[in-house]
Amino acid sequence: MKFILGISLFFVGWIHAQDLPSIAKMPDLPPGYFLRDWKKTARDFDRLVFDENLTGEFLPLIWADSAEVVNEVEGFGIPTYVGDSRQNSKTNIHEAITGIASVLNGTLLGMDKSRYVPMLSSHFHQKNGIGLYLNQVGTRGDSFWYDLLPSLLFTHLYHHYPNTKGFTVQFHSIISKWEQIARELGNDFDHTGYDFYTKQPVDRGWSEADVVAGIACLQYIGWKQTGKSSYLEMSKKCLDWMDLRKTNPYYESLAPFGAYASALYNAEQNGNHKTAKFIEWILAGDNPRKWGAMLESWNGVPVHGLIGSLYPDYEYAFAMNTFQAIGIMAPIARYEDHFAPELAKWILNIASNSRYFYPDAWPPEHQTSYQWAKKYDPNFCIPYEGIRKQGKIRQYPEVDRMKSGTLTLGESTNPDKDMLLTADSDGVIDYEGKINLPIGKSHTLIVVIRNRRIENDIRVFFKKNPENQINFRGQRSDHQKISFLGEGDLEVVVQAENLKPGEVIQIQDLVVETRLPHPPHVGGDATVHGWGKTDLGLYGGSNIGYLAALIEPTNIEGILAVDPVATDIINPTTFPTRLFYNPHPTAKTIQWDMGKKPVQVYEALTNKMLHSSVRGNQSFKIPAKQAIMLVSTPVDQPMEKVEGRLICDGIVVDFQL
């Protein structure tokens, strides 16, 4: 092999930019670039969450779970939000996606979390025979993303703690069970979830079809671990389904695992699955739910790259979805390195803009829970659930009165639980609800009626102004609203006539929404819906380890050293690898420490050897708006090309020559 000792690289241009148009729309250098110390934030989060001796309001955040409901293992609980009224030591309710991610957070930073790792088995549903990691006790299966994500997070953690008691059996169980579920679903993944008892799909009015992406990932990893051919076949079947799929299925958190699985499969199996298409699924926001990447600034606040809802007037970037997506997908840069420059650019935007999830990035009046954070989290390591382009307050009826018919409430414990209005013997419904409005604001009354074909008059109006009303008869949309001005008490009336005696009208939402001034705002659903006393999201913060493990600063501001191996689910054996993207309009030279021992330095994007033997700090020139990916290999081990790959000492250095 010819060795090039110089460091002036020849680039043929960024020829794959058209593959990922969403990233092309992101700025090369984020406006107002600032790099928070993410490793410190992640370590501070770990210390705060796992400190059992803290005292104060809502503290400690962790508690022991000795109930052993689904498995004979003592576990621990961490609430979804600080001050969560549903999840605390008294209710002993907690979510696997928070607990497992919190342990993974520290693990990705090199911390020894072995004390807590075995306790996570309390989320493995063994006693009821389901044989899966599920999000909460009592789950029978009704949402794909809630039901599959815990097993995916466990799989990631398993590759760091493979010898933990029970983990191998659990790993084999979840791979086998999800293969069985995929076979029972056939080629139809367009459902909301799957009932583990009836073994039938569940449909609640929306599709979480990106379950196929999570299954593709899980099955491929199962094959790598066991060599069982049916797992590889199922992974390919799922990826083939994704290849043929025309409608973007991205729902919440599973689609990134499909993009990762596609790249891994292509690299190791010489596949040709459509990784670019799957990456765009996560970013473009062209799915029915309008879930994707923010590609703009909000009133001067750059949020480019953050993941969440792009629904017009309800744009909302989420911490969990952002950190998780970039952590799961960053390894694609190594498996299909033609995506590396674009992925590095996206990571750069997230590394800068994610600071806005945290209380110390905002004045107190732009957030909901600053006082608690200032007093009990002085390092501000717990983020808000998310950032809203338009901050909103929601008020629900505080007093209900039925003049005709009866009122019952749905099973939800949320304040916006479904209202079931039942017609009287004359087929009449007459409901009044009192709502208290903020002073001097503009408002919107929102009414959502579900699960019925609206053939009769259903009128919703203000008691003081019955002319300004909503009539649902003949409406194609079940979502109607009225904008108005006002303050003080407001009485909302729902009337219906000519119904069948005992007929039920199911009202999913009857709420007044008030926009806050000077957006954007940080907060969450906890205080809006009454789930908790703060909007500080532990479930989102527990995923910060993904970003913290991925990046390090360099001597040039705006150029990060990205480790595409650090967050890889399979925790592969590799040589030190770093990806550097230069967002500046001119070439820049970085300094990077290659270690104390002499190494060869290979540049994977241009497939060139830069140094045959160097150590210590070295200089590398990066052209404007381009990237390099450096791999350090032992000087005493030869490189060889094997079936289109570059191998050193049995380890893949480059999958694409």
Residues 584 and 635 in one domain: yes
Q: Which of 50-54, 331-335, 384-388, 508-512 has the lowest mean pLDDT?
A: 508-512
Residues 497 and 562 in one domain: no
* pLDDT at position 391: 78
Relative to beta strand 577-581, strand 560-562 is antiparallel
Q: Is the pLDDT of residue 511 over 90?
A: no
Residues 491 and 573 in one domain: no
Could you tell me if residue 371 is inside a domain?
Answer: no
Residues 479 and 582 in one domain: no
Q: Is the pLDDT of residue 261 over 70?
A: yes
Tell me the average pLDDT across 237-248: 98
What are the phi and psi torsion angles at 302 (to 5°)? Answer: -75, 125
* pLDDT at position 395: 80
Tell me the average pLDDT across 494-517: 87
Q: Which amino acid is at 144?
A: F
Distance from C-alpha of 470 to C-alpha of 482, rounded to nearest angstrom: 7
Distance from C-alpha of 397 to C-alpha of 432, rounded to nearest angstrom: 9
Among candidate residues 486, 515, 544, the one where a domain is terminated: 515
* pLDDT at position 11: 40
Tell me the average pLDDT across 420-432: 93
Could you tell me if residue 534 is inside a domain?
Answer: no
Q: What is the pLDDT of residues 158-179, one digit of tens each?
A: 999 999 999 999 999 999 999 9
Q: Which two tokens stand for residue 593?
A: 């420490």
- State what percent of residues in the chain have pLDDT above 90: 78
CB-based contact 645:654 (threshold 8 Å): yes
Q: Is the pLDDT of residue 9 over 50?
A: no
- State what percent of residues in the chain have pLDDT above 70: 94
Residues 576 and 464 in one domain: no
Residue found by looking up tokens 């119904």 in the block:
499
Residues 6+ apart with CB under 8 A from 47: none
Distances (CA, A) of 238 to 53, 225, 256, 259, 316: 47, 18, 14, 12, 30
Residues 563 and 499 in one domain: no
Could you tell me if residue 641 is inside a domain?
Answer: yes
* pLDDT at position 7: 38
Q: Which of 367-381, 464-478, 531-545, 555-569 has the lowest mean pLDDT?
A: 464-478
Q: What is the pLDDT of residues 74-102, one digit of tens each?
A: 999 999 999 999 999 999 999 999 999 99
SS3 for 339-402, per residue?
A: HHHHHHHHHHHHHHHHHHHCHHHCCHHHECCHHHHHHHCCCCCCCECEEECCCEEEECCCEEEE
* pLDDT at position 649: 95
Could you tell me if residue 464 is inside a domain?
Answer: yes
* pLDDT at position 512: 87
CA atoms within 13 A on the CB side of 620: 32
Binned at pLDDT 50, 70 and 90, residue 13 comes out as very low
Binned at pLDDT 50, 70 and 90, residue 528 comes out as confident
* pLDDT at position 483: 86
Q: Provide the H-helix boundaries in 434-537.
A: 525-529
Residues 398 and 508 in one domain: yes
Q: What is the pLDDT of residues 595-606, one digit of tens each?
A: 999 999 999 999
Average pLDDT, the chain: 92
Q: Is the pLDDT of residue 250 over 80?
A: yes
Containing domain of residue 631, as a range?
Answer: 555-654
Residues 596 and 488 in one domain: no
Residues 501 and 577 in one domain: no
Q: Is the pLDDT of residue 477 over 70?
A: no
Q: Which amino acid is at 28?
A: D
Could you tell me if residue 596 is inside a domain?
Answer: yes
Binned at pLDDT 50, 70 and 90, residue 135 comes out as very high
Q: pTM score, two decimals?
A: 0.87
Would you call the peptide bond into 312 cis, given omega within 30 degrees of 0 as the criterion?
Answer: no
Among candidate residues 492, 515, 538, the one where a domain is terminated: 515
Q: Is the pLDDT of residue 413 over 50?
A: no
| DSSP-derived secondary structure letter, 536 | B
* pLDDT at position 125: 97
Per-residue DSSP letters for 80-92? SBTTBSSSSTTTT
Q: Which of 191-200, 401-410, 519-528 has the highest mean pLDDT?
A: 191-200
Q: What is the pLDDT of residues 286-324, one digit of tens each?
A: 999 999 999 999 999 999 999 999 998 889 999 999 999
Residues 504 and 614 in one domain: no
Residues 398 and 469 in one domain: yes
* pLDDT at position 281: 98
Residue found by looking up tokens 């990691």 in the block:
133
In the chain, helix, strand, coil percent, each to 5? Answer: 30, 25, 45
Among candidate residues 463, 493, 515, the one where a domain is terminated: 515
- In the three-class reduction of DSSP (H, G, I as helix; E, B as strand; rest coil), residue 610 is classed as strand
Please state the domain count of the chain.
2
Q: Which two tokens stand for residue 396?
A: 């629900």
* pLDDT at position 410: 61
* pLDDT at position 1: 34
Give the distance, in angstroms, between the CA of residue 114 and the centroid of all CA atoms in the same chain.
Answer: 25
* 404 beta partners: 430
* pLDDT at position 18: 57
CATH number at residue 427: 2.60.120.430
Could you tell me if residue 181 is inside a domain?
Answer: no
CATH number at residue 593: 2.60.40.1180
CB-based contact 124:170 (threshold 8 Å): yes
Residues 403 and 485 in one domain: yes
Tell me the average pLDDT across 234-248: 98
Q: Which of 60-64, 126-130, 323-327, 450-454 has the lowest mean pLDDT?
A: 450-454
Could you tell me if residue 400 is inside a domain?
Answer: yes
Distance from C-alpha of 233 to C-alpha of 248, rounded to nearest angstrom: 23
Q: What is the pLDDT of residues 536-558, one digit of tens each?
A: 999 999 999 999 999 999 999 99
H or E, element range at 228: none
Per-residue DSSP letters for 157-193? HHTTSTTSTTHHHHHHHHHHHHHHHHHHHTT---SSE
Could you tell me if residue 593 is inside a domain?
Answer: yes
Residues 6+ apart with CB under 8 A from 562: 330, 333, 344, 347, 550, 551, 578, 579, 580, 581
Distance from C-alpha of 225 to C-alpha of 151, rounded to nearest angstrom: 15
